Amino acid sequence: MSHRAGFVSIIGKPNAGKSTLMNALVGENMSIITPKAQTTRHRILGIVNTEDYQIVFSDTPGVIKPAYPLQESMMHQVNGSIVDADLILLMTDVNEKHDESDVIERLQGSLAPLAILVNKIDQSNEETVKQKIAYWQEKLQPKAIFAISALHKHNIQSIMDFIVDNLPEHPAYYEKDFLTDRNDRFFASEMIREQVFKQYQKEIPYSTEVIITSFKEGDTLHRISAEIIVERDSQKNILIGKNGEMLKIVGTYARKSMEEFFQRKIFLELFVKVIPDWRSKKNYLKQFGYED
């Protein structure tokens, strides 16, 4: 049989239980978990690899938290990850009282198979669950609806089976090997880069590079130093912000992402460095060993 691979977008409000679901889906079948924040469209939550398939789970930041700065570009990202998805899982809390029309609206543009996961059924009753299923059936006519408890791993295997059945034939998108230290550095730099994209106006992210200058692993704490490289002093001033406020925000959020990812306390130092036209200076990147 040929190999299958695809992007599965998990969408839903922040409290719907996405991360619990990920841990349930991925914990069992997982070779790597990579919240690799790509600057394009997918925020990768986890990758499940077997010989026959690769499932790339991606999160859609902000559908759902419209209070972000850079709202438009984030929304653009959400739409992108819906449009690009090979499969969409819409996660809802069985007791959710709020209007989900914002989510529904965004799904209109998608041709991908849709499954709806009605979560937290352990905190509900049969009647409510049935009503919810009927509601979604009518609202979106999804390809499947699963009543689940991510916390108690109830019905998780059927979701997995559904995903595998609906994955397109495609070679793997990512290497199937395990994480290495080099990858850890890479993920750390991507998490800083993600914050640079989220916190600043458009022109800044494209003229920055993030380089991890030191990565010291410990059992309870990783010490990580990074340089954010820009091309001009004016960019450096914007990155650092008044009294260093902006850089502090980037550092705080990046550190939180890393702590979640590495499951360690993180001590993170960020420096901003100006290198005129670094983008055209390949040798600069070489001396850091970032180009083979």
Going by the annotation, the residues of the binding site are 12-19, 59-63, 119-122
Q: How do beta strands 221-230 and 265-274 pair?
A: parallel
Amino acid at 88: I
Which residue has 């849709």 as its token pair? 114
Q: Across-strand partners of 169?
A: 4
> What dihedral do alpha carbons 194, 200, 202, 207 form, nearest 10°?
-70
Other Cβ atoms closer than 10 A to 16: 25
Beta bridge partners of 89: 10, 115
Binding residues for GTP: 12-19, 59-63, 119-122
Give the number of other CB atoms < 10 A from CB of residue 132: 21
Task: Say what angle helices 181-199 and 245-262 make with each other, to 10 degrees.
Answer: 140
SS percent in the chain: helix, strand, coil, step 5: 45, 25, 30
Report d(CA 120, CA 212) in Å as an integer: 40
DSSP for residue 167: P
Q: Which tokens belong to 93?
A: 């809390």
Cα–Cα distance measured from residue 63 to residue 61, given in angstroms and rounded to the nearest whole number: 6
CA pair distance 17, 278, nearest whole angstrom: 42
Please state the separation of Cα 173 from the chain's center in Å.
16
